[in-house]
Amino acid sequence: MYGLIDCNNFFVSCERVFNPALNGHPVVVLSNNDGCVIARSNEAKALGIPMGCPAFQIKDHTDPRQVVQLSARHIVYADLSHRIMSIMGSEVEGLEVYSVDEAFFRTPYDDVDQNHQFLARLVTKVHRCVGVPVSIGFAPSRSLAKIASHIAKKDPRITDGVYWLVRPEAIDIILRRTPIADVWGIGRRLTASLLGKGIDTAYKFAHMPSGMVRALYSVTVERTQRELRGEDCQVVNPVTIAHRSLMTSRTFGHVLTDRCQVQDAIVHFAQATAKRLRDEHQVAAAVMTYVRGDRFREDLPYYSNSCEMRLRTPSSSTMTLVHYALVAFNAIFRDGFGYRKAGVMVSELSPDSSVQLNVWDTEDHGKQRALMQAIDGINQRYSAHVVQLAPEAGEQSWSPNQSRLAPRSKTLRIYTGQIYDTDASEDCCDTSNDKTPHTHHSV
C-alpha cells in the first residue's frame, strides 16, 4: 500500500514556526512578486480567499487589514521541507519526494491497524521535531492515498492526522462523495468535459468503460481511472530523480523597455540555472531564452517570443550557458516593446560524467570545468555571490517586489543550530530573495 504525507498549509505553517503569534489569525503567503496567494491558513480559507487569488483582490473577500500577507521565503520553506523529508526517509521505505510539501512512500505493515498506529506516531513526531502539522493518507494506489490524505486534513473528526482507504465498500462510499474535479490528474479542462457527459463524481468516473476513457482522452487519464479502482499504475517522477529540464524565470517588478536591463536579467537567470545544473551534476544540450510583455496591460503592444539554441557539446559552464542564452536573447529582443517577464531554460540534460566531446569543438572543456569548480568552491566558502562572471549592478532594475517579508525580529531565531537571517538590513527593505540560511554556530 501507498502512503502520502502532505504538509498542512505548508508555507503558512513554516512562517508560523518562526512566528507563533500568527497562530489563529488569517495568514496568506504571496508569490514571488507579491502577486498571488500561494498558501492560506485555515482562517484565510474560511474567509473565502481562493488559491491563486491576486493580492489586490483580497479586499473583495474581506477587510485586507484582517489578513496577514507575507512575501514568500522559499529558502526557508525548502529547508523545513528537507528536515521533514529526512525524518520520513529514516522511518519508511521507498520515499518519493513528490513536491516541496508532499511525499509518497510504502506503508511498512500488511495490517491496516498497525499502519495506522505507526503513521499516527509519525505525524506527531514530525510536528514535534519540525513544528509543521502534517496529514497522512494511505490506500492501495497513490491516487486513492491522495484522496485519503485530503480527508485526513479536512475532517475534524480525524484527530490523529491519518486516514486510510482500503476496504472496497469504504472506497466506494468516499468516491461517491468526491467531486470529479478533486481527483488528482483531472484538471479544469477534463472536469468540464466529464461534467458534460454527466460524470460528476470520482465514483462515476471510476466506473466508466476503460476503452471509452482511453479513446476520448489519453493513457494518462486512463491510468488515473485505474488508480481509482485500486490499481497501482501511476508513474511518479519524484524530484529525487534527476530533472529533465531546469528553468529560472521572473516577473519583473515593473515593465522594462531598456535592452540592457532585460539582458542583465537574462545573464542572471543563466548563471543561476548553470549553478543548479552543476549542483545536480548534469549538463545541458539545449538552452532556451524567452521574453514576454505584460499580459494584463491592454494599453501596450504585447510581444512574446522564445529561442532555443543547441550546444555543440553539452555543458554546465556558466560562460557557455550565458553565451548561448544571450545569443538566443539577441535573436528575439525587439526594441519598442515593454517586457514584464523573462526566463532561461536548459533541457536535454544528462549526467556530467558522460559528456561526449564534439570533434569540431574547439572550446577547452577541461579548463572551463576546473574554473567552474573553483568559482563554486569560493562562493560556497564565503557567501553566495562573491565571484560572478558578469558584473551586476547593486540594485537590479528587474528585481521583483517583495515588500511583505516578515520583519527581522520575527525571523531571526535560533532554530536547532541554524540562524535564519532573511532580512539582513534592518532599516531598508532588501528586495534580494536569494539569502541563504547561514550556519553560524551550533547551539
Partner DNA sequence: TCTGGGGTCCTAGGACCC
Give the interface with DNA as residue ranges (CB under 7 A).
Answer: 31-33, 35-36, 38, 52, 54-56, 98-102, 146, 183-191, 218-220, 235, 237, 243-251, 276, 294, 296, 308, 341, 343, 345, 400
What minimum distance in Å lies between the beta carbon of 241 and DNA? 8
What minimum distance in Å lies between the beta carbon of 74 and DNA? 9
What minimum distance in Å lies between the beta carbon of 354 and DNA? 18
What minimum distance in Å lies between the beta carbon of 111 and DNA? 28
Q: Which residue number, 99 or 257, has a Cβ lying nearer to DNA?
A: 99
Q: Which residue number, 315 or 402, has a Cβ lying nearer to DNA?
A: 402
Q: Contact at 8 Å (CB) between 100 and 82?
A: no
What minimum distance in Å lies between the beta carbon of 426 and DNA? 25
Is the alpha carbon torsion for 201, 206, 207, 211 positive or negative?
Answer: positive
Residue 175, exposed/middle/buried by CB under 10 A (0-12, 13-18, 19+)? buried
What minimum distance in Å lies between the beta carbon of 72 and DNA? 8
Q: Which residue number, 255 or 371, has a Cβ lying nearer to DNA?
A: 255
Partnered with residue 133 across adjacent β-strands are none
Q: Which residue number, 235 or 428, has a Cβ lying nearer to DNA?
A: 235
**β-sheet with 93-99: strand ranges across:** 93-99, 102-106, 2-7, 134-139, 162-164
Q: Which residue number, 270 or 372, has a Cβ lying nearer to DNA?
A: 270
> Which residue pairs, CB below 8 angstroms and at least 24 apart, start in 413-416?
413/18, 414/443, 415/17, 415/18, 416/443
Length of the chain: 443
Q: Which residue number, 108 or 185, has a Cβ lying nearer to DNA?
A: 185
Calpha distance 429→404 (Å, rounded): 9
Q: Which residue number, 99 or 416, has a Cβ lying nearer to DNA?
A: 99
Cα-based distances in Å from 94 to 83, 108, 130, 329: 17, 10, 21, 42
What minimum distance in Å lies between the beta carbon of 391 and DNA? 22
Q: Of all helices (H) and strands (E), which one includes residue 307?
A: strand 304-315
Backbone angles phi, psi at 243, to 5 degrees: -65, 155
What's 440's DSSP letter?
-
Q: Contact at 8 Å (CB) between 144 and 227?
A: yes
